[in-house]
Amino acid sequence: MAIIRLLGIGAAALAISALSATADEELDQMLKEALPVMQHSCDTAVEETGGNEEAIVDIVRKMVVVSLANRDIDLSDYADTEEEREVLRAEFIEVLRAGCEADRKGLLAGIVDTAVKTVLKL
C-alpha cells in the first residue's frame, strides 16, 4: 500500500510540460536519461529510491517524456492554461494510482503510458 501512497503523493508534484518547446538535442538527452529507469515496476521504483518522493517523481517524469515523445504529442494541444494542466495532472495521478494498485509488479512504464493515453483520450 505504501507504493500507492508514495506514487499518489509523488505524482502530484509531476510537472508535465509540452515537448514541442524542447529542442531536439534536449529531447534526445531526456530520452537517454529515461533508458535506465524503464525496467521499473511500481514496487521496484520505491525499493530502488528508498521511497524518496522526489526520486519517484523523477522516474515517472522520465517515463512520461518517453510516452509523449513516442506519440509526438504537444501537450499545449490538450491544455493551454495552468488550470487545464492541473486537471490533466489530477486525472493522470488517479489512473497511475489505479494501475499500480492493479499490478504493482507490472512495468511502471506501461502503467505510465496507459495513464497518458487515458488522460489524453488517445
Inter-residue contact 61 to 15 (CB < 8 Å):
yes
Contacts of 122 (CB under 8 A, 6+ apart): 71, 116
Which region among 20-34, 42-56, 76-90 has the lowest average model confidence (pLDDT)?
20-34
The DSSP code for 106 is S
Per residue in 58-102, pLDDT (tens digit) is 999 899 988 988 888 888 888 888 898 889 989 999 999 999 999
Inter-residue contact 112 to 11 (CB < 8 Å):
no
Alpha-carbon distance of 94 to 36, in angstroms, equals 25
pLDDT band of 4, cuts 50, 70, 90: low
C-alpha cell of 101? 494498485
C-alpha cell of 100? 499500480
Q: Is the pLDDT of residue 14 over 80?
A: no
Q: Is the pLDDT of residue 19 over 60?
A: no
